[in-house]
Structure formats: structure tokens, C-alpha cells
Chain A
């Protein structure tokens, strides 16, 4: 009977796809969406800092020193502030197309150059901090989920919640006070450190300890809690019963079937969050005078240095968009279900 009827069974719900066409379309649509976001950020950058923000650029330039009306007019011409708003916008777009982010009013150097100088320390701090936070958060999340309700779970989850809700600057100041001069309170190196690589690296590491701890403390909790809830949910999955029935040990069930599946949403979150961590570094960098993009933004705000603010805004916002894109593309590589849809 089976033979007579095999033709009747409907074809598979979805034949294996995910080859050429589907993938390309998916990537293009995600990249397209990211480009649109970037375009909106460029416009928003102009509107925020040239149209909405109060203040007089000439005053910033001259740092409040008296200036003749002719002098002020000359300065305005030099920076293009005398143009009508539309003219300023097209000039801004034109410059941007050449990678020119204008000149800083305060530092008197191109904004792009200034950002370039400060990008390294931020990447170092955020990179190391995120790496530690991810490892710590996922490990704690896995353990607390597997032993949920235990004292370990209650303690670790409680600590995570407390640190997550603590204000960053407060945490930084507490750490500074509590360690009592054991670690440098600011900067990236001492000026008298020998210029060879090893000494510089050790000194930087020494300076990094407190900012990194602060950043990790603020960030890891979210990874831990998401990993925990994702794994707790996964532990109810019926296919784990299949795995146990197959004769797998409990730790094999966890390692092969529960944790990898629970990691999928968490990995996406890590990348979604990475862009935000860069912006979150502003507070940490300010507290510890870490010479990165965050501190630069803070300095630019004080004057206010519009072109510089605009530049850091563009870079930080673009980081969020790019990381979202990476998260979308990565999930597709990792999760076959997303690949098919």
C-alpha cells in the first residue's frame, strides 16, 4: 500500500534552500537597511549639531576672547558658518564624501585625525572589556540556568542585577576609592615610562585595570541574564528528552543539545549590544580620563565643539548600525532555521 501512495505525500514543507539566491537576497536586504540607517544618521548629525544645538561657534573658536566684527566674519567664512543652512548642508555632505569631517574648533586639527588618534584606546578598552564580559556572562548564565534555584544561582543572579543597576560613574569612583591608589586613577600611560614596547604595554595594562573592571561589571550582567533565561527556556525543549532517552549523560545533553541552542539568541544579543557598549564607554572613559572617543566626546561637549561632536556622533552611531548588521548576518550563519526563512 505504501508504494501506491508514496506519490500522495505532500512534498517537504521547505526544500533545502539557503543556497545562492536566498542568501544573496538576504545579505543585500540587510546591507540595504544598514545603508539607509547610515544615511539617516548623516542627516541627523547635521540637524542635531548645526540646527538644534544652541551656542556660538565663533565664541568657541576664540575661547571667549574679544574679537572685532570683521574678525568674527572672517572666521565664520573660513568654517562656512556664513552660508545659508542648505549651503552648509551640501558643504557638509560634500566634505563627508571625501572623508573630511571638518576641522575641530578647539584642537584646530581635522576631526577625522583627532578621532583616529582616540579610536585605538577605545577599541582596546571596549574589546578587552567585552571579551571578558562575554566569557564571564555566558559561563555564569549557563551555570545558573543549569542549577537554577540553587544558592549559587541566587547569589550570582543577585550580584548581576545589582551591578547592572549600579550607575557607571558611581561604580568607577567606588572602585577608585576602594583600591586606594593600587592602580593609576587616570590616563593610559605615565609620561616617564620607557618607550620600548614591553614597558609601554605593561604600563597600559596597569592603567586599564580599573576602567576594564568597571566596564565589565556594567556589561556582563545582561549577557548572564539573557543566557540564563534562554537556557532555562531551552531546557524545557522536548528534544532534550530524546537526547536523554538516547542514553546521553546529563552533561552531554547540556553540552551538545541545550547550550548550543541557547547560545544562538545570546550571540546575537552580544553583537547588538556591542555598538551600545562603545557609546557606554563614554562614562567609563570620562571617570578614568581614558583618552578614547568617549572622553573626546565629553571634551567636545564642554565647549561645545560642533564639528568634533558631529564626528564622534557619526562614528559611534555607525558602530551601532554596523554591529547590528554583523548580528543579523551572523545569526543566519549560525541558525539553520533563519537560513531557511
Chain B
């Protein structure tokens, strides 16, 4: 029977038609994946199911939950349906949990709200049960959210979502902020639990691979409409809509020669090849960096040559970001050496300034890296001013923007960051680095916060910069597909040491270390749907 039925659903915000006529159906116990990029209306659609949209939203059309129209429910009935009928696993569990309540308390809250007569001892028992289901020890109930890791917080959200035995769980980007291995664990727990309890799952993600690995059926959303819908396996392996094809191509299959040195892009194809590699530019010898008693970096050797792209992969907490900070001179090594161009990274203020003219950092989130009140011109010119670069400032800024492929540069000079797309913002950050006499770019998850369709564009830019300017790049990432797309060599970091290191093809296709294997195993494989049999198209 149909658990959730949307008929001609429209949601309008002032000046925006977020959902523009969507029909979708979800059977009891079925798993439906909803794919799309930021701003396509997928989260709005999800929130409309429980009428959780802000008051400015105007909803039209039918939302039937278990045969009942949600939009005409009384407040009392709606509150009863919330969580007990359908619950939500929100994205970014960091903010979705109340920071000053213990997590046991937060899991117990919906039980108390929906069955107020449950004796306290039974509530405690139930919380312990729920924590056990998501593989967390019962004593974590006394912890506060900030005492848990990202993966643990997301497990808490899942435990909370199951507290009242709902018929439907809506999971909105439940694993976006997590690294591959933790993502695999969380998805595993989520899908196992909904299958065991016969719960319907509406999983929302920008990552087709995640959805393909988890859901029986897939719907792809773009600009408020569903452009393609069908069994997950079919949608991913034989997409009919061009947009689905773009999304499917965005994340490469590791081992597929077509995507090697060739990230999916709609623009000019990147220039491939390793021929430009030159002298050794960055040399790290037996580097150790400790925080108190823990060694974040525990003896690392690594080198980057001019014109080379090296990927440093590992999970959060593996020490890769600390390593990057040391390369930039933001942290002093406790022992060992970091040599740039044969000379140790300076420690004096003046020396560091000169060092940073040649070594620049690109961060994960360009939105927070840019001052929201500075125009593109200001953002790029700031480095020039700090370093007192001679020459006509306007010319230099224009040249840097052109190098970062923001063309024509004049069009962007006066723009503020919020007027640009995520990909354009990241190019502005890169232009800021290029404006100086840049030789080594340290990029920390440069595309992790970008939409799938611009991810390829930014990666292709890095490849072209290498070909054109001989730029060396150290990319720090947990995304093995990124390494496959652009890197020459890859170093796998685990608990402060590099466990495996070599050319990309060797490490990713013939891994020797168990940890590399487990990382590769955790990459979601879109063509291997976890829900066994592809279901027949329901409804619609």
C-alpha cells in the first residue's frame, strides 16, 4: 500500500518557485532516493511532508501520508503524526542536536511527548535499546553532542528517528559531512534498521552513488521538478535524461580509464599528462607534530615536484590537515624537516611572508573563506597589497581572474561573493592565490562543499593550471575519486603515518595496505544496490 503520495506538489517562497509540480509515491517499507543539487527543491519537498516549512512558504497540491492529507490536518493531529508517523534524520547532526542537552535526554524526548504515560525506567531502557541498535554503548546517553564524533552524532540522530517506531524516515543528506568510511557505516546502520523494521525511507542526497548503493528506486530533481524516476539500478546505469547523465558522471568510477586525468566537465576538456613534472619543490622528512600527548603527524616523508599533483588521502582525524598547516608554516614541526625549494620553511614573520607568496592554501568552503562584504576585486587584490606586489593592481587582478578562468574578468570584478555560484567562489579563492608568485597550491578538500556539476570544473581547472603554469598541487581529501580524477601520485595517511604511497594506478587499483583496501571498500558503488530486488514502479 502507498505510504506517502505527493500529487502535483508546489511550494513557493516569495520570489521563488522551489517545488514546481512534483508527483511521487512511496510504498510502505520501500526505499526511495531523491537526488539533486543544492537549490533544486529536494529539502523543501522533504520538509513539506511534515509541514515543517517556514511560514513564508506557500504549499499547493496534495500530500497524503498513510492516506491522510497532511495539509488539512489539525495541529493536534499533525503533532501526533510528526515523529510517531514520520521522523527526520537532518543533515549536519552537529546543529540538529541541542548542544546543551544530553543525547539520552534528546532521544527520550519524543517518547515522552508521544507516549507520556511510559514509566521513566522503561524510557531509559528504550534509549539504551535504541543506542544499541545504532551500535553505540548505552553509557553514551549521558554525553553531550560536542563530545561525540560526526559519525556518532549521526547515529544518535538515527536512534532518535526510530524512537517512536515511525512508518517513514526522511533522511536529508544524512552523511554529507562525513568521510567515506564513516559514511559507509552510517548508511549501513540506516538501511539495515529500516529494512529490519519495515520502515519506508526517503533518502535525499546530492550524491547519486550514495543513493544508488542504498535505495531501490530513484527520483532525480532539478529546478523544482522530477526529471527522471525509476529503479535505482536503471537510473544510474542507463540514465535517459541528460541531467541525470551529468550527475552520474560527476563522481568517477575508480579504475575507469575514461575519467583518469579527465574529471567530468561541460566546459573545455582538461589537458592530461604528467610530462610537465620537474624539480622537487616540497620535501618532507620524518615530520612529527604533536598536540600534547597525541601525535597528529608521527613521522611522515613526502615530496611534491614542480608541476606535480599529489593527493594526500585519509579520514578526518588522520593528521592530513595538520600536515598541510605545517607545510604552510602555520605550525612548527616538533621534529623532522619541511623543505621548500631545498630550504626549510622559515619561522620568522618576514620569512613566512615570503614563503606564503609562493605557497597558498585553498580551503573546503569558499563561502567562509571569502569576506562577504569584499568584492571579487578586493578579495584578489588583498594578497597583492599585503605582499606589496609592484605593478598595476587592476591589471594583476584581471590576469589572476583570467588564469582562474573567470572570463571575462571585468564581469566579476565588482561582484560580491553571495552573487556568485559555489564554483565561481572557489575560482575567486584560487585567483587570489594565483595573483602572487604561486608555486605550490595546498588544497584542503577543494570540491567537498561544491555541487556535483561544478566539481569537475574546479578539478579540470587544477589540471589546466598545472599544464599551463607548471603549478604543483598538494590536494588533501577523503575523496578517492578526486585522486583518480587528477592526481599523479597518492599518499594514504592513517593515524599520523603514511601507510601507502605511490602512483595513483598502483595504489588505487592494486592496494597493498589493509587500510587502503578498507577506504576503497567504503566508496559507495552506485551499481551495487543494497536493497536486493528492484521493485516495480509504484504509483505515478
Contact-residue bracket for chain B: 35 or more
Identify B114's interface contact among A2, A245, A247, CB under 8 A: A247
* Separation of A16 and B146 alpha carbons in the complex (Å): 9
Residues of A within 8 A of B534 (CB): none
Report whether B189 and A2 are in contact in the complex, using a CB–CB cutoff of 8 Å: yes
With A9-B149, A9-B182, A10-B317 as known contacts, state yes or no: A242 contacts B113, CB within 8 Å: no
Identify B82's interface contact among A1, A5, A239, A244, CB under 8 A: A244
* Separation of A252 and B110 alpha carbons in the complex (Å): 12
Residues of A within 8 A of B82 (CB): 244-247
Report whether A12 and B147 are in contact in the complex, using a CB–CB cutoff of 8 Å: yes
Interface segment, one of B16-24, B94-102, B237-245, B484-492: B94-102
* Separation of A5 and B96 alpha carbons in the complex (Å): 26
Report whether A247 and B185 are in contact in the complex, using a CB–CB cutoff of 8 Å: no
Q: List 8 A-B contacts (CB under 8 A).
A: A2-B185, A2-B189, A5-B185, A5-B522, A8-B181, A9-B181, A247-B79, A257-B101
A340 within 8 A of B: yes
Closest to A261 in B: B100
Report whether B79 and A241 are in contact in the complex, using a CB–CB cutoff of 8 Å: no
Report whether B110 and A247 are in contact in the complex, using a CB–CB cutoff of 8 Å: yes
Identify B144's interface contact among A238, A252, A257, A337, CB under 8 A: A337
Dominant secondary structure at the A interface: helix
With A245-B82, A336-B144 as known contacts, state yes or no: A5 contacts B92, CB within 8 Å: no
Report whether A10 and B149 are in contact in the complex, using a CB–CB cutoff of 8 Å: yes
Closest to A341 in B: B146
**Minimum Cβ distance to chain A for residue B106 (Å):** 8
Residues of A within 8 A of B515 (CB): 8
**Minimum Cβ distance to chain A for residue B115 (Å):** 11
Report whether A246 and B317 are in contact in the complex, using a CB–CB cutoff of 8 Å: no
Identify B98's interface contact among A6, A11, A239, CB under 8 A: A239
A264 within 8 A of B: yes
A248 within 8 A of B: yes
**Minimum Cβ distance to chain A for residue B118 (Å):** 15
A233 within 8 A of B: no
* Separation of A12 and B316 alpha carbons in the complex (Å): 11
Of residues 227 through 260 on chain B, the ones whose CB sits less than 8 Å from some CB of chain A are none
Closest to A4 in B: B518
Over the window 223-252 of chain A, the binary record of Cβ atoms lying under 8 Å from chain B Cβ atoms (1 yes, 0 no) is: 000000000000001110111111111001
| Residue count of chain A within 8 Å CB distance of chain B | 36
Residues of A within 8 A of B92 (CB): 238
Closest to B88 in A: A245
Closest to B149 in A: A12
Report whether A337 and B184 are in contact in the complex, using a CB–CB cutoff of 8 Å: no
Interface centre among A8, A247, A252, A264 (most CB of B within 10 A): A247
Residues of B within 8 A of A243 (CB): 98, 109
With A8-B181, A242-B90, A337-B144 as known contacts, state yes or no: A257 contacts B83, CB within 8 Å: no
Report whether B79 and A16 are in contact in the complex, using a CB–CB cutoff of 8 Å: no
A15 within 8 A of B: yes
A335 within 8 A of B: yes
* Separation of A244 and B151 alpha carbons in the complex (Å): 23
Report whether A14 and B146 are in contact in the complex, using a CB–CB cutoff of 8 Å: yes
Closest to B157 in A: A242
* Separation of A249 and B82 alpha carbons in the complex (Å): 11
B315 within 8 A of A: yes
Report whether B135 and A2 are in contact in the complex, using a CB–CB cutoff of 8 Å: yes
A97 within 8 A of B: no
A13 within 8 A of B: yes
B330 within 8 A of A: no
Report whether A1 and B147 are in contact in the complex, using a CB–CB cutoff of 8 Å: no
Report whether A238 and B96 are in contact in the complex, using a CB–CB cutoff of 8 Å: yes
A55 within 8 A of B: no
Over the window 76-93 of chain B, the binary record of Cβ atoms lying under 8 Å from chain A Cβ atoms (1 yes, 0 no) is: 000111111001101010
Report whether B146 and A13 are in contact in the complex, using a CB–CB cutoff of 8 Å: yes
Identify A8's interface contact among B52, B152, B518, CB under 8 A: B518
* Separation of A257 and B95 alpha carbons in the complex (Å): 13
B73 within 8 A of A: no
Residues of A within 8 A of B99 (CB): 239, 261, 336-337
B341 within 8 A of A: no
**Minimum Cβ distance to chain B for residue A172 (Å):** 40
**Minimum Cβ distance to chain B for residue A250 (Å):** 9
**Minimum Cβ distance to chain B for residue A106 (Å):** 52
Report whether B87 and A237 are in contact in the complex, using a CB–CB cutoff of 8 Å: no
A260 within 8 A of B: yes
* Separation of A245 and B100 alpha carbons in the complex (Å): 19
B276 within 8 A of A: no
B125 within 8 A of A: no
* Separation of A335 and B150 alpha carbons in the complex (Å): 21
Identify B315's interface contact among A8, A15, A244, CB under 8 A: A8
Report whether B315 and A10 are in contact in the complex, using a CB–CB cutoff of 8 Å: yes
B143 within 8 A of A: yes
* Separation of A231 and B100 alpha carbons in the complex (Å): 15
Report whether B185 and A9 are in contact in the complex, using a CB–CB cutoff of 8 Å: yes
**Minimum Cβ distance to chain B for residue A258 (Å):** 10
Report whether A6 and B144 are in contact in the complex, using a CB–CB cutoff of 8 Å: no
B188 within 8 A of A: yes
* Separation of A312 and B33 alpha carbons in the complex (Å): 71
Residues of B within 8 A of A2 (CB): 135, 184-185, 188-189
With A2-B185, A247-B82 as known contacts, state yes or no: A14 contacts B96, CB within 8 Å: no
